[in-house]
């Protein structure tokens, strides 16, 4: 089996049928954003005279409410203004294709998921982020993918502070037929990690997924705790954690990105999982993430079920957001 070149955790490329399914899932998840953008622009174009100032203002406002971020909204609007000045066609279809071209340009320059093949015996992956974003659920979804790819998987319930997080992970693990290394609630997360690393090494496990805390109940600083966990992992397994995925909730929008930066700086996040895209009209946040965090989006969460995790594909994203009509 070959490794998926887009992401170190994946193996075989998705078969065509599965990829089509993924595209439709992303498209469904982006439906609210997609509809809102096109409706607003359609109404503005109808009212105005082609792509005039009113339309451009509406474009900027619409991009802002889709959460692409203020700077990106301004830059995209200016770029479309320039394209419109040079273009004969000033209808909605023209506006859409100008915007699509600009978004594709941003995506082309966006940070890429690591494409090196993983050859380490044990791949250690941390999931970090604030509570409620979907860390535990995403841990389970990733575990299911790993298992389906034929790898042995172990889970570490290192979110020892959120009530119910350990049992939640255990429930998923039971369904998947996987083991969880767990301590009691409130236990030292680094101690859980240490035990999980030892168990993973002893059993020859290929992938260790570590669900971490989003908030600590002690006076301890979360970022210090995550830094400590990184040191523990690196001491026990060379190069670990090999990946640290920052889980972000699309419904929180750009306001969450300031806080997210701390996870990049202090917790060493290497990529983003964007969850709850299915419940949000803020699908533009992918663009804001690139600008603010300089991290690739690796997966998007499109629902609560175990298979509602989609490997992120920038060109599919652009098409689902604006094109493909």
Q: Under the rule (CB under 6 A), what is the footprint of ligand GDP?
A: 131-137, 162, 165, 168, 214, 275-276, 278-279, 301-304, 308
Q: How far is the CB of 184 from ligand GDP (least distance, A)?
A: 18
CB 320 within 8 A of CB 33: no
What is the rounded radius of gyration, in angstroms, for the C-alpha atoms of the chain?
Answer: 21
Tell me the residue nearest to ligand GDP as measured from the CB. 301
Q: How far is the CB of 171 from ligand GDP (least distance, A)?
A: 11
| Spatial separation of the C-alpha atoms in residues 261 and 1, rounded to whole Å | 36
Contacts of 167 (CB under 8 A, 6+ apart): none
CB 58 within 8 A of CB 80: no
Q: Measured from the CB atom, is 134 or 241 closer to ligand GDP?
A: 134
Q: Measured from the CB atom, is 97 or 170 closer to ligand GDP?
A: 170
Distances (CA, A) of 157 to 26, 163, 319: 29, 12, 37
Q: Measured from the CB atom, is 87 or 171 closer to ligand GDP?
A: 171
Q: How far is the CB of 188 from ligand GDP (least distance, A)?
A: 19
Q: Measured from the CB atom, is 91 or 304 closer to ligand GDP?
A: 304
CA proximity to 288, closest of 245, 248, 243? 248
Cα dihedral 58, 62, 64, 68 sign: negative
Q: How far is the CB of 280 from ligand GDP (least distance, A)?
A: 9
The first and second tokens of residue 99, run together, are 């915007």
Q: How far is the CB of 301 from ligand GDP (least distance, A)?
A: 2
| Spatial separation of the C-alpha atoms in residues 324 and 232, rounded to whole Å | 47
Distances (CA, A) of 70 to 162, 315, 322: 34, 22, 19
Q: How far is the CB of 307 from ligand GDP (least distance, A)?
A: 11
Q: Measured from the CB atom, is 156 or 165 closer to ligand GDP?
A: 165
Q: Measured from the CB atom, is 102 or 308 closer to ligand GDP?
A: 308
| Spatial separation of the C-alpha atoms in residues 189 and 149, rounded to whole Å | 28
């Amino acid at each position: 089996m070959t490794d998926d070149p887009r992401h170190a955790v994946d193996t075989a490329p998705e078969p065509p049928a599965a990829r089509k399914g993924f595209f439709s899932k992303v498209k469904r998840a982006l439906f609210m954003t997609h509809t809102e953008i096109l409706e607003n622009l359609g109404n503005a174009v109808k009212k105005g005279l082609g792509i005039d100032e009113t339309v451009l203002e509406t474009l900027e406002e619409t991009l802002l409410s889709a959460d692409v971020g203020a700077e990106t909204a301004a830059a995209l609007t200016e770029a479309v203004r320039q394209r419109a000045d040079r273009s004969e066609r000033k209808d909605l279809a023209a506006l859409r294709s100008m915007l699509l071209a600009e978004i594709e340009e941003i995506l082309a320059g966006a940070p890429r998921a690591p494409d090196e093949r993983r050859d380490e015996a044990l791949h250690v992956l941390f999931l970090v982020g604030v509570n409620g974003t979907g860390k535990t659920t995403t841990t389970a979804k990733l575990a299911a993918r790993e298992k389906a790819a034929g790898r042995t998987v172990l889970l570490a319930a290192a979110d020892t502070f959120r009530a119910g997080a350990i049992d939640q992970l255990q429930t998923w693990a039971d369904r998947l037929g996987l083991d969880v290394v767990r301590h009691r609630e409130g236990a030292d997360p680094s101690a859980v990690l240490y035990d999980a690393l030892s168990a993973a090494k002893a059993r020859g496990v290929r992938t260790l997924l570590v669900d971490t805390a989003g908030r600590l109940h002690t006076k301890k600083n979360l970022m210090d705790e995550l830094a400590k966990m990184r040191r523990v992992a690196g001491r026990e397994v060379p190069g670990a954690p090999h990946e640290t995925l920052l889980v972000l909730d699309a419904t929180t929008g750009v306001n969450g990105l300031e806080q997210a930066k701390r996870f990049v700086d202090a917790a060493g996040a290497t990529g983003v999982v964007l969850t709850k895209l299915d419940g949000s009209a803020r699908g533009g946040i992918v663009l804001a993430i690139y600008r603010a965090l300089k991290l690739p989006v690796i997966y998007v969460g499109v629902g609560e079920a175990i298979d509602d995790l989609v490997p992120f594909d920038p060109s599919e994203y652009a098409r689902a957001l604006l094109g493909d009509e």
